[in-house]
Structure 1
Amino acid sequence: MSPTLWARSRALTTALSTSGTLRRIARVAAPAAAVLGMLAVPAVAYADPGGPVVLAANDLPTVIANLQTWVMGILGAVATLFLVLAGVYWATAGGDPAQVDKAKGALKNALVGYGLAVLAPILLEVVQGIVGG
């Protein structure tokens, strides 16, 4: 690129940016490009998916099984949190009977949480048997 051409392009860019013309062009060009893009592709303009819309990928028993898996995982995670808290309480008790009782309570809650996580599928089967599903 020759020095003269470089100087002219630099002067033009400086003149456009200082006068605000470049900003006005950008303000008009961006929405115009969006409108032209929508008009160029009718599926985008009308949000037409082009086929049947499937709202649910799974049937109800599959959704319930997935939900059961999530609930069991959450119960296991909460039980693990209580188990860690019980260990921390017990380790930091320092012989204080109130802290040891607090740790025992957290340990008991952790065991109940693990029990519920393990028994969740069995409890669901019992409820389905009672309801008749």
Structure 2
Amino acid sequence: MRLIPHPSTQPTVSPPPGAASTTEHARPAPPNEARGNSKTSHPSTSSRSARATFSRLVSSAIVTALLLTTHTADSAQASTHVVALATTVDQVFTNIRNWLVGILAGLATVFLTVGGVRYLLAGGDPGETEKAKSAFRNAAWGYGLAALAPLAVEILRGIVGA
């Protein structure tokens, strides 16, 4: 192993008489100046500009949200009619069934997707493969419950007497 001494510990050599001084050229120019790049910025300057950009983005998002909520509140106060009401009890149970099937099938699809991604990224790791298989089992349970949701609503309808 070869040790390289630090430049400050190297002995200085004086130039021969009549020669130009080489001390100005002893230190190489920083990389940005050597390439002629005029965008030399200090790390804290770039982080300050990033923070400023982020704060502008957050403030504009807040202003937009406030404008949208006040516009929505004004339009909600102006309208007095009700958009959707179930006219019969059968419609209520149909809506409940549709919501249950949609929510359960959506969650099962999420579990199926997570399981698939985990299985693809497992790379042969037995622990990750087991987690993926568990997500697949949970997806199967979710799809099974979604298929049985109409039966559960029919049982509820029978209890209520509709």
- How do 1:1-133 residues align onto structure 2 when only pairs under 5 Å count? 56-129=85-158, 131=159, 133=161
Counterpart for residue 41 of structure 1:
none
Alpha-carbon spacing, 1:76–1:57, altered in 2? closer, same or farther (3 Å):
closer
Q: Distance in 2 between matches of 1:63 and 1:121?
A: 13
Q: Distance in 2 between matches of 1:116 and 1:57?
A: 25
SS at match of 1:58: coil
Instruction: Please tell me the root mean square deviation across aligned C-alpha atoms, in Å.
Output: 2.5
Aligned residue type for 1:89 = R
Q: Distance in 1 between matches of 2:106 and 2:93?
A: 20
TM-score of the two chains, using structure 2 as the length reference: 0.45
C-alpha distance after superposition, 1:92-126 (max 9, x if no partner): 00111110110011000000000000011112223
Report runs of 4+ in structure 1 exceeding 2 Å deviation: 123-129
Identical positions, percent: 46
TM-score of the two chains, using structure 1 as the length reference: 0.53
Q: Distance in 2 between matches of 1:127 and 1:56?
A: 20
C-alpha distance after superposition, 1:12-37 (max 9, x if no partner): xxxxxxxxxxxxxxxxxxxxxxxxxx
Q: How far apart are residue 58 of structure 1 and its match?
A: 1.8
Q: How far apart are residue 64 of structure 1 and its match?
A: 1.8
Counting matched residue pairs gives 82
Q: Distance in 1 between matches of 2:88 and 2:155?
A: 21
Structure with larger Rg: 2
- Unmatched segments (≥5 aa) in structure 2: 1-77
- Unmatched segments (≥5 aa) in structure 1: 1-46
In terms of fraction of residues, the more helix-rich structure is 1
2:93/2:157 contact within 8 Å kept: no
